[in-house]
Amino acid sequence: MNQYPEDNENRPVVYAAPEAVPAAEPKSKKGTRTAVTVLIAANVLLLLLSAVTAGVCLSMRSDRNAPPEAEQKEETDPPRGQETDRRTEEPEKAPETAVQTGEEAILPEFRKVTAEGMKTVSEVYADNVNAVVGITAKGTSVNIFGQKTTTASTGTGFIVNEKGYILTNCHVIESGSDFMVTLYDGSIYEATVIGADAETDIAVLKIDEEGLQTVELGDSDGNIVGEEIAVIGNPLGELTYTMTKGIVSALNRVIDTGDGAIRMFQIDAAVNAGNSGGPAFNACGQVIGIVTAKYSSDTVEGIGFCIPIRDAVRTANDLISYGFVRGRASIGAEYTDAYSVYAYYRLYGRGGRYLSYGAYVTKVNPGSAAEKAGLEADDTIIAIDGTKLNDDAALDKALRRYSPGDTAELTVYRNGNEMKITVTLDEYIPSGAVLKEEGDVVL
């Protein structure tokens, strides 16, 4: 599908009807009357031939043109070149309203694709490359011999705010403690992590610089299969600011990243290690997704995945405002995999009083939903609303279906007996987090 503006050859062509020839006044002489009669007959024949010819031309080109009288009728078919792009047919939605948390708050302006705004791939690159950054995450680890080793990983990000806020993937920075950001012009800055969320694989960094070039955010809700996209990133950490292009191959793919299932859209543009966190642009040069994952196999080519930009912005605004993502449910207790506890005590002949499956409760937080419901440390949660739990990860996954304030029935194993406990779920707030009255929403 051609995503770029069409030329003038497809403009409607209006064909004018033949101009009528006025009839001559009859004269008194016989020869003159005969000549006039012949002239009139010739003109009539000419008019008939012209009408037939015009009719044939209009019929042959009816797929491109409408007769003049049709201009007053209501147009029901989309213009040529737009019949496969439903975003140009739908009425524009009002921009989402961000939480007004202060003078620095900026509404998220997700822009629609329009034929007038479409650009060549070269224009997309030139207009945005200065807003794409390379990210280097450095950290230390201890090997099996107790020796400290230095690690480094690279990825991509993009500037979303003139004050230096950068969007990327959580997995790009999760192994680091020191972060460096490199701009296209070679400038290097130390970066601070504002927030990171493994479940959505989104992270926000900030550099101490203002007046930076930023990307324009597109409306990922309007993505369609077949539309052209372009990606800018740093594959392999060495081939910096590389652009590749392709199409949106599929929508609403649910990809399990290990920390949670994330809804993404599929692309066929070439992406590799180092592209993670980079922007995926539509034909108007607007960011519609964050390059996040790809299938890696000797027999697989051209299967990459992007997080829709609307989903990423919702997470980023919470990370900037609060340091964590709001609206997630929690039982208000700490727990671990029950099998690890069972295996440990089995070594000492005490495994019989523990289960080999479920979520083993290690601590109940004071004043939490769990304490109010009567949950105790040393309990094992084996089901929630009738859904069996194999381990602690299964409980984490199940809780994603709930919101703070919802009620859930827990099946609990305690001292050899099963019992039911109904809990009204809390909002998950990480340890040490401080809820702020006002946040700095920038997207």
Give residue-wise pLDDT tens across range 269-285.
999 999 999 999 999 99
More confident: 38 or 240? 240
**Tokens 């406990």 label which residue?**
421
Q: What is the pLDDT at residue 39?
A: 42
Instruction: Kindly state the average pLDDT of the residues 99-120.
Output: 59
Q: What is the pLDDT at residue 77?
A: 42
Instruction: Kindly state the average pLDDT of the residues 387-396.
Output: 94
Whether the per-residue pLDDT at 85 is higher than 70: the answer is: no
More confident: 6 or 233? 233
Is residue 263 exposed (0-12), middle (13-18) or buried (19+ Cβ within 10 Å)? middle
Q: Which tokens belong to 291?
A: 């390059």
Structure confidence at residue 351 as a pLDDT band (50, 70, 90) = low
Structure confidence at residue 111 as a pLDDT band (50, 70, 90) = low
Alpha-carbon gap, residue 97 to 99, rounded angstroms: 7
Residues 6+ apart with CB under 8 A from 8: none
Whether the per-residue pLDDT at 80 is higher than 90: the answer is: no
Alpha-carbon gap, residue 131 to 108, rounded angstroms: 17
pLDDT tens figures, 309-348: 999 999 999 999 888 999 999 999 999 999 999 888 887 7
Give the CA-trace dihedral at 78, 81, 87, 88, to 10 degrees. Answer: -60
Structure confidence at residue 31 as a pLDDT band (50, 70, 90) = very low
More confident: 19 or 429? 429
Instruction: Kindly state the average pLDDT of the residues 380-395.
Output: 95
Tell me the CB-side half-sphere exposure of residue 193, using CA atoms within 13 A.
23
End-to-end CA distance of the chain: 31
Please tell me which of 117-121, 145-149, 256-260 the model is most confident about, judged by mean pLDDT: 117-121
Average pLDDT over the chain, rounded to an integer = 78
- Tell me how many degrees the CA angle 416-417-418 measures, rounded to the nearest 5: 135
Alpha-carbon gap, residue 360 to 412, rounded angstroms: 10
Provide the pairing of β-strand 426-427 with 329-330. Answer: antiparallel
Whether the per-residue pLDDT at 261 is higher than 90: the answer is: no
Using alpha carbons, select from 161, 211, 158 the residue that is nearest to residue 182.
158
Please tell me which of 146-160, 334-348, 368-382 the model is most confident about, judged by mean pLDDT: 368-382
Q: What is the pLDDT at residue 19?
A: 38
Instruction: Kindly state the average pLDDT of the residues 105-112.
Output: 55
Alpha-carbon gap, residue 125 to 111, rounded angstroms: 18
- pTM score above 0.95: no
Please report the domains of the chain, with CATH numbers, ordered by start residue: 15-60 (no CATH), 115-322 (2.40.10.120), 329-427 (2.30.42.10)
With a pLDDT cut of 70, the percent of the chain lying above it is 71
Structure confidence at residue 15 as a pLDDT band (50, 70, 90) = very low
Residues 6+ apart with CB under 8 A from 378: 360, 361, 414
Alpha-carbon gap, residue 68 to 374, rounded angstroms: 79
Is residue 36 exposed (0-12), middle (13-18) or buried (19+ Cβ within 10 Å)? middle
Query: 164 vs 209, 263, 403, CA distance in Å?
Result: 6, 27, 33
Instruction: Kindly state the average pLDDT of the residues 177-187.
Output: 95
Catalytically active residues, by annotation: 171, 201, 276
Which residue(s) pair with 289 in the sheet?
280, 308
Burial 335-357 (b: 16+ CB within 10 A, else e): bebbbebbeeeeeeeeeeebebb
Whether the per-residue pLDDT at 306 is higher than 70: the answer is: yes
Contacts 24+ apart (CB under 8 A), 44-49: 46/21, 47/18, 47/20, 47/21
205, 135 Cβ separation under 8 angstroms:
yes
Residues 6+ apart with CB under 8 A from 148: 140, 141, 142
